[in-house]
């Protein structure tokens, strides 16, 4: 109680920077040298960045010497290539630093969290697992406020165009992963749903797909409905349909989530703990508010 009350005394730009595990070591480790297995780190920068914004993003991503990274530029043409309903005239500020590794799964860190307004690190990770990214450390940065959706485009292009990124990503999987991110952020805007609740829902549906291997759309619908009930999430029919269509697309692509079961499990556990903690904090602050209200009411009554 005292520890929490102590918290009451505390006071509580558009380029995305990604660092993917196999392309470079995490930022700040530039003195470890070039990874001779996976090559130089890949930094993907948005074509709309000014010189000063580009320098700012590179600093946020820990790029001290541009000669030590492989640089790729992402444009509006890339956006419509990877996201067919995207706008070719979009100003691309998104930037990504990608570091591949031998193990550790997909790790995402948003280094400028105040500037990524809708997409969370866990949403990125979930979508990247769908896209087929493995063992990558990803850092995200932006000098301006952005929703964060176009960040995936830079990562996709890095895998397709880089001379050192290894296996290319399947285009059908990247498209459905982008669709997943759109659904996630759309649902997170609904009243009563948090970012973590939406990500937990998507993660646990994937776990059930890995466990049950659904053969039909009806099987997908049952998995979705059961998981909504388990998590006590109420959606409109149109929002349910978004989930039916999304996961049926994954079923048709025969995406094998068995290979990332442990990552999905760890992500689900993490989100569950965050949601429980948030609920506990909400209850605590409500009790604090009620406590002081009673005091103020008692004082007011003295003067009546």
Each residue's pLDDT, cut to its tens digit, for the chain (304 residues) gives 434 434 334 332 334 433 333 444 444 444 556 677 777 889 988 888 999 999 999 999 999 998 888 999 999 999 999 887 888 998 888 788 989 988 999 999 999 999 999 999 999 999 999 999 999 999 988 899 988 888 889 999 998 886 665 678 999 999 999 999 999 999 999 878 999 999 999 999 999 999 999 999 999 999 999 999 999 999 999 999 999 999 999 999 999 898 888 899 889 888 889 888 876 644 444 444 544 545 555 555 554 5
Query: Same domain for 67 and 153?
Result: yes
The total number of structural domains that make up the chain: 2
* Predicted local confidence at residue 164, as pLDDT: 60
* Predicted local confidence at residue 27, as pLDDT: 44
* Predicted local confidence at residue 5, as pLDDT: 39
DSSP bridge partners of 116: 146
Residue with tokens 């999987």: 173
Domain that holds residue 84: 15-167
3-class secondary-structure state, position 171:
helix
3-class secondary-structure state, position 240:
helix
Distance CA 45, CA 178 (A): 19
Last residue of a domain, one of 167, 198, 233: 167
Query: Same domain for 160 and 198?
Result: no
* Predicted local confidence at residue 163, as pLDDT: 67
Backbone angles phi, psi at 165, to 5 degrees: -85, -5
Query: What is the pTM assigned to this prediction?
Result: 0.78
Last residue of a domain, one of 101, 132, 167: 167
Read off the tokens for 46.
């948005």
Asked if residue 6 is part of any domain, the answer here is no
The answer to whether 123 and 189 have CB atoms below 8 angstroms apart is: no
């Amino acid at each position: 109680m005292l520890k929490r009350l102590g918290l009451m005394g505390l006071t509580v730009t558009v380029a995305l920077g990604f660092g993917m595990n196999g392309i470079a070591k995490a930022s700040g480790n530039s003195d470890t040298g070039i990874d001779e297995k996976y090559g130089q780190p890949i930094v993907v920068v948005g074509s709309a960045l000014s010189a000063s914004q580009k320098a700012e993003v590179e600093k946020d991503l820990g790029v001290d010497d541009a000669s030590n990274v492989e640089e790729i530029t992402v444009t509006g043409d890339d956006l419509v290539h990877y996201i067919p309903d995207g706008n070719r005239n979009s100003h691309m500020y998104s930037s990504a630093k990608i570091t591949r590794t031998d193990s550790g799964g997909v790790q995402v860190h948003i280094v400028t969290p105040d500037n990524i307004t809708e997409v969370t690190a866990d949403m990125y990770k979930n979508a990247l697992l769908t896209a087929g990214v493995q063992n990558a450390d990803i850092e995200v940065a932006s000098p301006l406020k952005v929703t964060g959706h176009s960040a995936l485009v830079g990562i996709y292009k890095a895998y397709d165009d880089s001379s050192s990124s290894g296996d290319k990503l399947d285009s059908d999987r990247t498209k459905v992963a982008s669709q997943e991110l759109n659904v996630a952020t759309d649902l997170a805007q609904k009243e009563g749903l948090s970012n973590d609740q939406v990500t937990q829902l998507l993660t646990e549906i994937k776990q059930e797909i890995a466990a049950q291997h659904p053969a039909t759309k009806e099987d997908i619908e049952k998995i979705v409905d059961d998981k909504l009930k388990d998590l006590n999430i109420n959606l409109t029919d149109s929002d349910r349909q978004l989930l039916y269509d999304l996961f049926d697309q994954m079923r048709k692509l025969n995406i094998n989530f068995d290979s990332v079961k442990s990552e999905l499990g760890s992500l689900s556990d993490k989100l569950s703990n965050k949601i429980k903690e948030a609920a506990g904090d909400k209850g605590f602050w409500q009790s604090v508010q009620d406590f002081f209200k009673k005091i103020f009411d008692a004082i007011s009554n003295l003067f009546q």
